[in-house]
Amino acid sequence: MANDGSWLSDLADGITHLMDVVGAWGAGVAIAAENLFPPLPSEVILPMAGLAASRGSFTLFEALFWTTLGSVVGAFALYGLGRLLGMQRLRRMFEVIPLLKPEDVDSTVTWFNKHGGKAVFFGRMIPIFRSLISIPAGVAKMALWKFGLLTAAGSLIWNSIFVGAGFFLGEQWHIVDKYADVLQYVVIAVAAAAVAVFLFVRIRAVVRARARGPQTAVEPVDADDSAEADEPTR
């Protein structure tokens, strides 16, 4: 493809060269790295795998197999980080981080135990959250087989869309990238709005608590006074 000097073109050229040199598993390595470093766009890496497959460097099946395997390997690495952190370490961290509470960890894990399956499956098809969703799964200690199966299924759907776009669109693969950019901007906007609302609620609660001031302590009743008060008048 023609290089226009942008970082995106440089990245695409580098990934294409990697796959040309080492084959389909190079795409798997690139996608595993994308899971660990979300700024790497899977929306570029995956179409490049499809483009390489259309040129005969490897088959479409190999492209899908290795990219999905790479997704699972990268996801398990972040899952392991979540398991390593664990609830107790996170609760201790949340005790010292401003505006956060240990109870936030408890409520998140409770929610994840209830809806984690859907979160992992659909999260694999949402930019940015594709990677991050693996960490709470590890903290909540989701069963390994369940996490792996849901990650593979969600990743296969996502990968098929973009690998297929690269395979069938060829050099025009960047057409689908425009739509992927829109989706990513929407996700970032929603996440930013959610963070803003969270900060507003927490800061308002802190301000109100300070405005009320410390609660007036109730003076203890002296035992002798209490006995005298209880003594009947003669």
Residue type, 98: P
User: Can you tell me the distance from the alpha carbon of 162 to that of 206, in angstroms, rounded to the nearest whole number?
Assistant: 46
The one-letter amino acid code at 151 reads T
Region 192-212 average pLDDT:
77
What token pair was written down for 219? 């003076």
At residue 174, the pLDDT reads: 65
Q: How far is CA 159 from CA 57, 66, 151, 223, in A?
A: 18, 10, 12, 75
pLDDT confidence of residue 65: 95
Q: What's the rounded mean pLDDT across residues 26-34?
A: 87
DSSP state of 128: T
For 208-231, b/e burial (b = at least 16 CB within 10 A) is eeeeeeeeeeeeeeeeeeeeeeee
Q: What is the pTM of this model?
A: 0.75
The residue behind tokens 């302590």 is 217
Where along the chain do its domains lie?
7-212
pLDDT digits (tens, 9 = 90+) for 58-116: 899 999 999 999 999 999 999 999 999 888 888 888 888 777 788 888 888 888 888 88
What is the pLDDT confidence band of residue 234, given thresholds at 50, 70 and 90?
very low
Per-position DSSP letters for 133-159, written without gaps between them: THHHHHHTT--HHHHHHHHHHHHHHHH
Given a cut of 70, whether residue 1 has pLDDT beyond it is: no
**In this predicted model, what pLDDT tens digit does every residue of 106-162 receive, in sequence order?**
888 888 888 889 999 998 888 878 888 899 999 999 999 999 999 999 999 999 999
Instruction: Count the neighbouring beta carbons within 10 Å of the beta carbon of residue 156.
Output: 18
Category of 5 on φ-ψ map: left (φ > 0), alpha (ψ -120 to 50) or beta: left
The HSE-up count of residue 224 (CA atoms within 13 Å, CB side) is 0
Q: What is the pLDDT of residue 156?
A: 95
Residue 217 pLDDT class (50, 70, 90 cuts): very low
Q: Which of 19-28, 40-49, 113-122, 172-181 has the least mean pLDDT?
A: 172-181
